[in-house]
Amino acid sequence: MGFGGDVGSKKAVGSELTAVLPHDGLPWWKRGYLLKLNFSLLSLVLFCELNRFPAVPLTSSDLKFSAASANGYDGSLMNSLQALDQWENFMGKPSGAWLGWINAIYWLGAGIFFPIAAWLANKFGRKPGVYAGYSFLVLGSILQCAAPNDVAFILARFFVGCASALFGNAVPVLINEIAYPPHRGILNALFMCGWYVGGSVAAWVTFATRDYTSEWAWRLPSLLQLLLPVLALPGLLLAPESPRWLISVDRPDEAKNILAKAHAGGDQNSALVNYEFIEITTTIKAEQEAHGVASYADMVKTPGNRYRLFISISLGIFAQWAGNGVVSYYLSLVLDTVGVTSVTNQTLISACLQVWNLIFSVAGALSVDRLGRRPLFMASAVIMLISYVLVTALSGSFAETGNSKTGIAVIPFLFVFFAGYDIALSPFLTAYPCEIWPFRLRSRGLTVTWVASITAIFFNTFVNPIALATIGWKYYIVFVVVLLVMLVTVYFWYPETGGRSLEQIATIFDGEDAGVPDMQRVEFSGKEDVEMKEKV
């Protein structure tokens, strides 16, 4: 997985934290406690499958792997269903605003529940909201599969959207707050990659059922939305509650026990555990004493928080307005414009694109510490911009000449575009906001990013099909401009967050007001916590 090694650890968390890590040369997969922890966290990635927004059959609309894979499944599912005559007939051949509403109702449910999910995560812990999400997912999946009419189908999508919000808020925050420090960056970035796991499963299931003559061609894929979250359940049950949340509600003994079990095999006197416990406790207490009870209003009270808010909102918008929305839910419409109209070809391209996205999003996530967040963001913007310019030019040429070879030439550049999208916007949509916000605002900050994306998605789901039907390829020019704006924004305002612990990242935005202790003044050699607190 690319974890381990002093050099890799320094790039991930810096030299201070690396100094208190075990240096016996034993790799993480030979440490049972880390194997168990990473199994749990990789399972949680599957939840994203429900939370990725439309990108490539949904790129950031539904959550990933465990939490992530759930969202990706829905996006890819809706993209594929639109190519099936059985579903088209059942829904009355939807088009225009009606088709937009069928897709948008999912995001309405998510938009309503994201603030609720943030409240649950802060009030009751990170895990309870995930369990609540299961109930909505079961209800929505079963109703969608058994839907007697189009109204029931739409209501089911609303329930699945509610589940995606509950998964999409709590799971990435939980991953960040319980991961082994050198592994946090990669695991954090892998969450949204889960979307493509779900998307790949949905796309290939729909491809396999495309020749069914009955409505099971779309009902079976609808039911299988439950598959990945059910597979992820054992990992969720094994995952501990966030020690940072426990400290915030004055349960420090439980928090230290979790840190010891998860990061040191139960060794309460581990130098690493003592380092983490003191840094987390001191930082959270400083936040509470300086700001009191957290609220959304706090996001605009300080320069550092306003900077974070700008990044969170802009990232959420770029994730949906980079042009991915045109080829996500509406990939079949895009293919129609370039002459690829058969059900087999459309569902096959959709399925292959999901696998392609999975490969590149995972590659981006695994490179997060080695290459850095900022370089990946820049590379993503450049690749998407160049490929989209070419897609626009080829689509325009096809519209003028009708040459099928020119139309087909669009498809490879769509794959190049998504490779660019996948290396940064896929892994960082939740990872970056989780890193830049301090503990007391982390869940709310992530909610802001999700709501910004959902707002952008609502625009896309209604406007995209109408614009594509009205002006065709010329609509792509809008996204070329957006990509230029993204490139400039990333260059000037997206900082590198690598090489720091989760608490130390706050110093980038708040400086000395971050409340992060000077850990160089503490000796971590297995001494008691009280002695070290006095030194701090």
What is d(CA 323, CA 304) in angstroms, rounded to the nearest whole number?
30
* pLDDT at 338 (0 to 100): 65
* pLDDT tens profile 328-372: 544 565 667 666 777 677 667 777 887 888 899 999 999 999 999
146 belongs to a structural domain: yes
Going by C-alpha positions, the residue among 457, 466, 465, 463 that lies closest to residue 105 is 457
* pLDDT tens profile 206-242: 677 777 777 787 788 778 777 777 888 899 999 999 9
Q: Considering its fold, how many domains does the chain have in total?
A: 1
* pLDDT at 214 (0 to 100): 79
- No. of helices (H) and no. of strands (E), the chain: 27, 4
In three-state secondary structure terms, 284 is helix
What is d(CA 22, CA 352) in angstroms, rounded to the nearest whole number?
42
13 belongs to a structural domain: no
pLDDT greater than 70 at residue 422:
yes
What is d(CA 63, CA 226) in angstroms, rounded to the nearest whole number?
14
Per the DSSP assignment, residues forming a β-bridge with 62 are 51, 52
Which structural domain, as residue segments, surrounds residue 422? Answer: 25-240+250-291+301-529
More confident of the two residues 465 and 45: 45
Helices in 150-239 by DSSP H: which ranges? 150-178, 181-190, 194-208, 216-223, 227-238
* pLDDT at 169 (0 to 100): 92
Residue identified by tokens 């996204």 is: 479
Planar angle of CA 133, 137, 140, nearest 5 degrees: 140
Going by C-alpha positions, the residue among 149, 177, 148, 144 that lies closest to residue 161 is 144
More confident of the two residues 86 and 497: 497
- Burial class of residue 289 in the structure, from the number of CB atoms within 10 Å of its CB (0-12 exposed, 13-18 middle, 19+ buried): exposed
In three-state secondary structure terms, 47 is strand
* pLDDT tens profile 291-326: 777 889 999 999 999 999 999 999 999 998 998 867
* pLDDT at 66 (0 to 100): 34
Backbone phi, psi, residue 528, to 5°: -70, 155
Largest Cα–Cα distance in the chain?
A: 78
**Mean pLDDT throughout 96-115?**
82
Name the pairing type of β-strands 60-62 and 47-48: unpaired
* pLDDT at 91 (0 to 100): 85
pTM score: 0.85
Query: Is-contact 415 283, C-beta < 8 A?
Result: no
What is d(CA 426, CA 64) in angstroms, rounded to the nearest whole number?
10
What is d(CA 169, CA 49) in angstroms, rounded to the nearest whole number?
13
What is d(CA 58, CA 139) in angstroms, rounded to the nearest whole number?
22
* pLDDT tens profile 191-211: 988 777 766 776 677 677 777
In order of 162, 196, 526, the CA distances from 230 in angstroms are 17, 17, 41
3-class SS string, 301-344: CCHHHHHHHHHHHHHHHHHHHCCHHHHCCCHHHHHHHCCCCCHH
448 residue type, one letter: V
pLDDT greater than 50 at residue 67:
no
2 belongs to a structural domain: no
What is d(CA 55, CA 62) in angstroms, rounded to the nearest whole number?
10
* pLDDT at 333 (0 to 100): 55
94 belongs to a structural domain: yes
426 belongs to a structural domain: yes
CATH number, domain containing residue 345: 1.20.1250.20
123 belongs to a structural domain: yes
220 belongs to a structural domain: yes
* pLDDT at 194 (0 to 100): 78
171 belongs to a structural domain: yes
